[in-house]
Chains A and B, each alone.
Chain A
Amino acid sequence: MKSATTDISQKKTKGMSLKRKEALTGYLFIAPALISLCVFVIYPVVASFIISGFDWGILSAPKFIGLENYKTLFKDPVFLESLKNTTKWVIIYVPASITVSLIVALAMDMPLRGIGFFRVMFYLPVITPMVVCALLFVWIYNTEFGVLNYVLSLFKIPPVGWLSDKRFSLISIALMSIWKHSGYNMLILLSALQGIPETLYEAAAIDGITPWRKFINIKLPLIMPSMYFVILTSVIDAFQVFTEVFIMTKGGPGYSTHTVSYYLFANAFEYGKMGYACAMAVVMFIIILTVTLIQDRILNKNVQYDI
């Protein structure tokens, strides 16, 4: 692991300078990335916290107002609605998308012919631009002319206003998003499943284990680290849902598909309320951080089987 130059460092005097030279090289190599990280990530995060304490419009001079933005935020019915919708979104999207990914990954883990074809196809929506997916489903979900309602009409189901009915709009977008994203998690889970050593199955086969027990007692515990990764990244992404909402419904009908990201975007770039939008970003950050930490506590307990 250690590079060759460290061995030379045992020769004291010359070694010290070599070691320092090496450290300097190291810092030079990471400098562009580190400066970029400071300018484009760390500084903005800190700045978001600070700006959230200001009444910060596009034209007027910023005015410090302390926690006023946060007080307004939790009395703002649209924000509370957005927060509710985002929570609903996470609760619908994450379990459903992971279940789909897991089921498909389990099926793909079988020694089947043509598995490469299935894998390529199932991943196709992931590489497709979100704008394309969103526009495509706007057309499919169209109440009068959409193909989905036509197919349902064959089963005598009356037309549903997938995107125009408040009861369905959020779920409809979530279904599209699950359709688009499941391939990614599926591939991660599949590679975890394929990393399970054959010998474990062989031992289980001697015991005459049922497929269900095999899944619960062998596969699931062993893919837990990947499950953990998949759940974590899905939750973080789900909290930030934006593009599909922006394209498909613009937050409507009513406020039924307003999410925190959407409302934040509208406040910052349409109403020019930068301070207020930053307060939202901070709240979102804290929520995501809390959820991540709780998950870490719960899930890490189950990740004990290192192979």
Chain B
Amino acid sequence: MKQSRRSIIISYIILAFATAIVLLPFFWMLVSSFKSQRELFAYPPKFFPSVWKWENYRQVLNAGRITFFEMFLNSMKVTIPVVVFNIIFSSLAAYAFARIEFPFRKFLFMLFISSMMIPSAVTMIPRFLLFSNLKLVDTYAPLILPSAFGTAFSIFLLRQFFMTIPVDLEEAAVIDGCGKLRIWATIMLPLSKPIIATLGVFLFQGSYNDFMNPLIYLNTDTKFTVQLGLASFRNSFSTRYDLIMAGSMLALIPVLVIYILCQKYIVRGIVMSGLKG
């Protein structure tokens, strides 16, 4: 279809403007993170640092009670189990909802779907009391367990994908006498690599970027995750924006790497999650 020249030009202007608004703050973060204190507070501000001060990064890496790298490892202690177990258990449930006949299937699926609409504030306090009774506060368990056994969003996304896989593939396996568990492991999962990648990225992001739960549950600063540690920088060096920006850059790197590598999966995942409408 042909578009008028005018609407093409207007579109370019909108996009250029929007992209500039989106990118300028990141640019500012980058240059600020390399500035010296003096240049940071110079007026009028200089856009590029006269000397790129890598020292800021070295300082930030070892700033807290634990190094930035240790905070990253702490984050991974939460994030990796969440991603792995969530995918395993969500896909099991999703497979059952997509392919296995059992009473109340529809009702139970709707139960999962509607649980997505529940604001987290309503579950926050009883969950905290539960974990506190189990003496699990200040461990990683409260950050891992609630999403490790399958969550509504993952189940929904995986089920949508499983429904698109032709049934014939499984029928052949059934004739060969395969059990459901084997069909799930040897047919469904290998065929679902793209959606698993999408979900993996989503789960990684959600868990790595989470701030509120670590804030509620972690007290000892050697256990801090990246987000919690970064937020605590604000208290420890209140006006050292050079260091805060350097820390922010470091915290951004892991998600940025994943974003660059898995960009197409992210787009597809969002498109699929929006299909619910």
B11 located at the interface, meaning its Cβ lies under 8 Å from any Cβ of chain A in the complex: yes
Q: Give the Cβ gap from A236 to chain B, nearest Cβ, in Å.
A: 6
Q: A126-159: contact bitstring with B at CB < 8 Å (1 yes, 0 no)?
A: 0111111001111110100101001000000000
| CA of A108 to CA of B258, assembled, Å | 24
A-facing residues in B103-120 (Cβ within 8 Å):
103, 105, 108, 111-112, 115, 117-120
Contact of A3 among B145, B174, B256 (CB under 8 A): B174
Q: In the complex the two chains form, is B11's CB within 8 Å of A112's CB?
A: yes
Query: For residue B115, which residues in chain A have a CB less than 8 angstroms away from its CB?
Result: 37, 41-42
Q: Is B51 an interface residue (CB 8 A)?
A: no
A51 pairs with B103, CB closer than 8 A: no
Least CB distance from A135 to B in Å reads 5
List which A253-289 residues lie within 8 A (CB) of chain B. 260-261, 264-265, 268-269, 274, 277-278, 280-282, 284-285, 288
Q: Is B112 within 8 A of A37, CB to CB?
A: yes
Whether A29 sits at the interface, judged by CB under 8 Å, is: yes
In the complex, are the beta carbons of A123 and B123 less than 8 A apart? no
Is residue A22 within 8 Å, beta carbon to beta carbon, of the partner chain? yes
Render A3-46 as a binary contact track against B, CB cut-off 8 A, 1 for contact.
Answer: 11110000000000001001111110110111111011111110
Interface residue from B15, B95, B181, B276 paired with A108 (Cβ < 8 Å): B15
Given A3-B170, A23-B101, A29-B180, also A132-B25 (CB < 8 A): no
Interface assignment of B99: CB less than 8 Å from any CB of chain A: yes
Query: Which 4 A-B pairs rank lowest in CB-CB distance, beginning with the nearest?
Result: A33-B150, A26-B102, A229-B277, A188-B274
What is B's interface to A at a CB cutoff of 8 Å?
Answer: 1, 3-4, 7-8, 10-12, 14-15, 18-19, 21-23, 25-26, 28-29, 32, 40-41, 43-45, 89-90, 92-93, 95-97, 99-103, 105, 108, 111-112, 115, 117-130, 145-146, 148-152, 155, 167, 170-171, 174-175, 179-181, 184, 205, 208-209, 211-212, 215-216, 226-227, 230-231, 234, 241, 244-245, 248, 251-252, 255-256, 258-259, 263, 266-267, 270-271, 273-274, 276-277
Binding site for B on A (CB under 8 A): 1-6, 19, 22-27, 29-30, 32-37, 39-45, 47-48, 51, 100, 103-104, 106-108, 110-112, 118-125, 127-132, 135-140, 142, 145, 147, 150, 179, 183-184, 187-188, 191-192, 198, 201-202, 205, 211, 225-230, 236, 239-240, 242-243, 246-247, 260-261, 264-265, 268-269, 274, 277-278, 280-282, 284-285, 288, 292
